[in-house]
Amino acid sequence: MGIDNKDTSYDSLYKAFEERIELLAKLPKMDEDNSIEKVIKENGFSRRDFMQWAGMVTAMLSLPSTFTPLMAEAVKVADRLPIIWLHMAECTGCSESLLRSANPSIDSLIFDYISLEYHETLMAASGWQAEQNLENAMHKYKGRYILMVEGGIPTGNEGSFLTIGGHGKKGKDIAIDAANDAAAIFAIGTCSSFGGVQAAAPNPTGAVPLSKVTNKTVINVPGCPPSEKNIVGTLLHYLLYGTLPALDVFNRPKWAYRLRIHDLCERRGHFDAGEFVQQFGDEGAKDGYCLYKVGCKGPYTFNNCSKQKFNQGTSWPVQTGFGCMGCSEPDFWDTMGTVNEPLKDRLYHTAFGGLGADATADKIGIGILTVTAIGIVAHAAIAVIKPPKEGE
């Protein structure tokens, strides 16, 4: 598909999106008195801010800018899709990433606006009432709701490491039941996508990814936590297309996880020039040099943090001066090594698809990425022989 806006394939996509929005608009609103315009206004954002945001999401989903008004329309009907959000074994950082209640972004407001039928952190109900609410929502919206699950699923001791509610139902069973009747399933965060911190060796609770307890397709939205943009983008993508997005080998949406952190990193020029921070606080750190030698795992990590950033686009780990830990990769706690040390020549399995300077190594497939380490040696040599900077 080309990027020409006159491309007929975009014309038909536009039409398909319009039809889907029309269809959703016919479903009942969550709250007749509420509207996205009202939510935006009450939280101090202008229509212009909202349209700018819609333009950003449109670009993030690799759609032409002519789709921006349609994206804004799609948000208006987002409250027609019932959502059930389950908490398993995790830290609630994924919810916090999205809600950011102290300083909500437009992404978090969208989440406020949607039809969140069940979310343990947010709802007022507790105990028996909460359990009842979940059952009611699953029954009422059977086959129609979107299931979002945060957290790994403990399966050890027959799943008894996680029990929820007055009846002590196992988290594993709740997740399986909820997945059975869902229209689409999103694993939010690395814990739900890949097991996460509780699945790190020796994994005492036998925590597994959501995809291991259901036969249905699970779209993984990893990151510990994932950015609010990737969560909202996944929802809006589903809303517009009504189908699953193109996924990589780890079932991550390609629109968000296609490239490595390293491919779009603002410090990449320093990597290529062999300019590295040797230890935190040194002159290189002050000059914004590459963090590879103090442990950045950006060359092995597929995510869009360097482009979309966090906290309303304010910053992201590498911008703050600390390397990427690889938090959106499977088993990063066990496989990415010491946080402040490079992987060097350790062999590392990675998904294919990287398009950076060392793309060829990635294209081997689920292959072995050693070229970065080799590259580092080459760059280090360049660093030794390059002429000293003026004044050195």
274 binds, among ligand SF4, ligand FSX, ligand F3S, none (CB under 5 to 8 A by kind): none
Question: Rounded to 5 degrees, what are φ and ψ at 86?
Answer: -105, 145
CA angle at 329 for the pair 353 and 215, rounded to the nearest 5°: 90
The window from 23-31, 85-93, 125-133, 227-235 that contacts ligand FSX (CB under 6 A) reads: 85-93
Q: By CB under 6 A, name the one of 70, 94, 147, 199 that touches ligand FSX.
A: 94
Rg value, the chain, Cα? 22
Q: Which residue of the chain is nearest ligand FSX when measured via CB?
A: 93
232: tokens are 């909202």
Integer angstrom CA distances of residue 133 from 95, 125, 223: 19, 8, 29
Q: Which of residues 246-305 bind ligand SF4 (CB under 6 A)?
A: 261-262, 265, 267-268, 271, 290-292, 296, 298-299
Determine if 327 is a binding residue for ligand F3S (CB under 6 A). Answer: yes
175 binds, among ligand FSX, ligand SF4, ligand F3S, none (CB under 5 to 8 A by kind): none
Q: By CB under 6 A, name the one of 295, 317, 330, 375 that touches ligand F3S.
A: 317
265 binds, among ligand SF4, ligand FSX, ligand F3S, none (CB under 5 to 8 A by kind): ligand SF4
Nearer to ligand F3S, 154 or 354 (CB): 354
Q: How far apart are CA 263 and CA 31, in angstroms?
A: 43
Q: How far apart are CA 147 and CA 255, in angstroms?
A: 20
Determine if 301 is a binding residue for ligand F3S (CB under 6 A). Answer: yes
246: tokens are 């193109």
Nearer to ligand FSX, 82 or 225 (CB): 225
Phi-psi region of 73 (alpha: psi -120 to 50; beta: other; left: phi over 0): alpha
Q: By CB under 6 A, name the one of 191, 208, 256, 294 that touches ligand FSX.
A: 191
Q: Which of residues 200-229 bind ligand FSX (CB under 6 A)?
A: 224-225
Instruction: State the pairing for strand pair 163-164/153-154.
Output: unpaired
Nearest distance in Å: CB 224, ligand FSX: 3
The window from 26-34, 91-99, 184-192, 316-324 that contacts ligand SF4 (CB under 6 A) reads: 316-324
The window from 146-154, 199-207, 313-321, 351-359 that contacts ligand F3S (CB under 6 A) reads: 313-321
Determine if 359 is a binding residue for ligand FSX (CB under 6 A). Answer: no
Gap between the terminal Cα atoms of the chain:
51
Integer angstrom CA distances of residue 205 from 91, 172, 329, 334, 371: 15, 12, 20, 16, 36
Q: Which of residues 129-158 bind ligand FSX (CB under 6 A)?
A: 150-151
The window from 38-46, 212-220, 281-289, 310-318 that contacts ligand F3S (CB under 6 A) reads: 310-318
Instruction: State the pairing for strand pair 219-221/163-164.
Output: unpaired
Nearer to ligand F3S, 133 or 303 (CB): 303
What does the binding site for ligand FSX look like in residue numbers (CB under 6 A)? 90-94, 150-151, 189-192, 196-197, 224-225
What does the binding site for ligand F3S look like in residue numbers (CB under 6 A)? 223, 261, 301, 303, 305, 316-318, 324-325, 327-328
